[in-house]
Each structure stands twice: as structure tokens, then as C-alpha cells.
Amino acid sequence: MSDTIHKPFYHVNSEVGELEAVLLHRPGKELERLTPEYLEELLFEDIPWLGKMQEEHDEFARMLQDHGCKVYYFDAILKEIMQQDETRDILIEKLMEDSGINRLKESSAIHEYLKSRSGSELVDICIRGLHKNEIPLKGGQRSLSYHITGDYPFYINPLPNLYFTRDPGAVIGDGISINAMKTPARQRETLLLGFIDRHYRTLYHSDAPSWYDCSFPDPVEGGDILVLDKKVLVMGCSARTSSGGIEKISENLINSNSPIEEVLVMQIPFQRAYMHLDTVFTMLDRDKFVIYPGILDELKVFSLTGGKSRAGLTIRHETSLEAALCRTLNLDHVHLIHSGGGDKYTAAREQWNDSTNTLAIAPGKVVTYSRNAVTNHTLREQGVEVFEIEGSELVRGRGGPRCMSMPLRRKDLD
């Protein structure tokens, strides 16, 4: 990729500043390896139609590009990096280790097979997985483990959730969090993002700080990280992000040279339907947010700020979300727009289809799924400019436009 990147490579100081660069992954053959018996393990409720899914994702990417956003693709960057033999060897060793292959009788044959692949082929394997039938074994000998788990088809699992690039990492200010994913099905995504972070950005002599690392024991996922402004972060305590992870990343940000001074924590119900904060709450403009009203009765809000010691945090319970947002943004009033037009049943139905999972491409301009007609109409009534994309197949993975994008750079707000 020959285009010039303005330093710093990472720069995100708000949720709504004009989007300049984003990391996407176009759904690929990894989705064709979903079968009914492994849907739950791979975090899907249904099997999507890949061809239609790709059409919808291409529409999404074009919309971002039409608004001046540079789109980077996960696999294209990795394939560029993997032209280096040394980097390819490191990835193979990590794949062997993380997939448990080193413990298998077939490990030598699998290692030999991976070593014989080109950089591009290796990246494809990392994403679509490695089927057991792809490995030719001399004499046909396989381990007892292979026969006992013979119905399970993969040595290396596919990554069907990779098109939700929001979750493995998050750019905060001029640094990055390489997240610790909650479920085994998604943990290799952070391994691959780590390779992009370490090997791709160095081409531009960037020296970005690291706010979190996937080796940390407490899970943190990007759908629970919202950059409110330069000084304030909002994090969801959810089914996928733990309180311990929130405390750790907050300490790293607040007790460092980061400009972040406060982290607002929104504790939401620990349910699959609300797996991340951005499935029920996102920022639309400097003073506008969309929220699923079904969580309001159970929502708890806390403020984390620096403690008396450098390593500590002061934790305070907030009386209301609206008051906390007004205080941190120095506003007299904020607009909490209820999804579904405020109707209980419409809001619940459209929340399931990610009506609140909006992606701001500029202040007051958001991308949404067209199927959420009532919420989209409500947003427009409140002065938000809504750009709709189709999502009948993309939504089957339980995520919307925000989930499908990892912002790398945004312009600062005036």
C-alpha cells in the first residue's frame, strides 16, 4: 500500500469526529465452514448466505469511501506482512501453539504443511481455518486424539466473526488496545491484529502506546469501548467485558501520559442479546446518543478517576447516565434518543437487529441497517443524518455497522 499515512497512524479522540481511516474484513470462506452443530461454539445463531453477505459488506465499504474514509482490509495487510519469511515463521509457531497442535502426533506433518504455504495461503488458513482432511499424513497414521474427536473437522478453527473488526482492538487517542477476547472462538483475531500492529505500522515509524494486551487475563472487547472525547472514555461492563478488565485498562490510561482522565462504566444486563455496550448504546453527535430503552431500569453507571496513589482508582456511583454525560462533556443537556420510537416491542425487535449499533462517520451523520425503519425515522426526526445499508445477511452474526468497523483515525472535533 503506497498511500501516505499522516502521523500518528492511530488517532481517535471521539466517537463522532469525521472518520478518516478504518479497518474492515470482507466476509469470506470462513463463513462457509459454519455448520448447524457448531453454530453456538462459533457464536452464530444462523448460517448466512455468503454471496449476499459480501454484497452488503461491499456496499458498506463503498459508503465509507464515498464519505472520504480510507478503508484498510485485514487480510490484505496481513498478506503484505507475510511476505517476510521471518514474520511468517513466527506466525506459524504461534498458530501451532495457540491451536494446541504442538501436542498432537500429527504436529510435524501440520508444521511441514504450513511451512510449505505461501504468505497469502497462510493468511487464508489463519482466517478460514485448517480442515483435518487438508493434511496429508504419511502412512495415514493419526493420533488417538484425532480418532476420539474425529467428528470435529478442524485442526485450526475458522474465524467467522472476524468481519466484526471492532472487537479485537480499539484505538484510543494515539494508542491502541489489543483486547483479550472472552470466547476461545475469537481469541486468534487478537493474535492477527497484534501482527498488524507490530509489523505494519512500523513501516510508518509510528510509536503508538499500548493500553491493553491480549495476554492479560481479564476480557475486554471493543464493542464495550466508546471514546466519548479526548479526556473521557465510556466502557460497558457486559457479558464480554469484565470489571477487572475495565479497571486494568482504566489504570493504564489514567495513570499514564494518556489524556484520558475519567472512565464512565455502564453496567448492562449480562445477556447474549446485549453482548456489548454498543448493541444498546452509541453516540450520534456531540450531544446525541441512541439507547435501547429496555436496559434503562437495570442500568448502573460508575465513574473511575485517578486515585491518591499512581496505581489506584477512585470509584464513584453516578446517579444517572444523562447527568454523567452532561458533566463529562460540559453540556447543559444531552439527547438520549430511544430506539424503536420509544415503543417497547418495536424497540426490542429492532434492537435484536442492531438498531442502536450505529457508526458515526461525522458529527450527526451515522450508518445504520435499513431494516430498522422505526429507529432510523426517529433518528431523522431528531436531526440526525442517516445513511442506510442493507444487512439481511450481515446481521445474522449479531452485529451492525459499528461492530463491523475498527476506526484507525478520526478528525478531532472543533
Report the amino acid identity of residue 242.
S
Range 360-390 burial, b when 16+ CB lie within 10 A, else e: bbbbbbbbbbebbebbbebbeeeebebbbbb
Cβ(321)–Cβ(299) under 8 Å? yes
Strands 210-212 and 175-178: parallel
State the Cα–Cα distance between residues 388 and 372, nearest whole angstrom.
9
Cβ(258)–Cβ(250) under 8 Å? no
Cell numbers 470482507 label which residue? 26
State the Cα–Cα distance between residues 67 and 250, nearest whole angstrom.
33
Which has the closest alpha carbon to 119: 88, 76, 158, 75? Answer: 88
> How much of the chain is in helix, strand and coil states, percent to nearest 5?
40, 20, 40
State the Cα–Cα distance between residues 168 and 181, nearest whole angstrom.
7
**C-alpha dihedral sign at 258, 264, 269, 275:** negative
Under 8 Å CB-to-CB from 6, ≥6 apart: which residues? none
Cβ(285)–Cβ(361) under 8 Å? no
Which has the closest alpha carbon to 253: 287, 228, 277? Answer: 228
Which has the closest alpha carbon to 298: 236, 223, 224? Answer: 236
Residues annotated as catalytic (active site), given as ranges: 403
Burial class of residue 330 in the structure, from the number of CB atoms within 10 Å of its CB (0-12 exposed, 13-18 middle, 19+ buried): exposed
Strands 300-306 and 262-267: antiparallel
Cβ(413)–Cβ(17) under 8 Å? yes
State the Cα–Cα distance between residues 45 and 34, nearest whole angstrom.
10
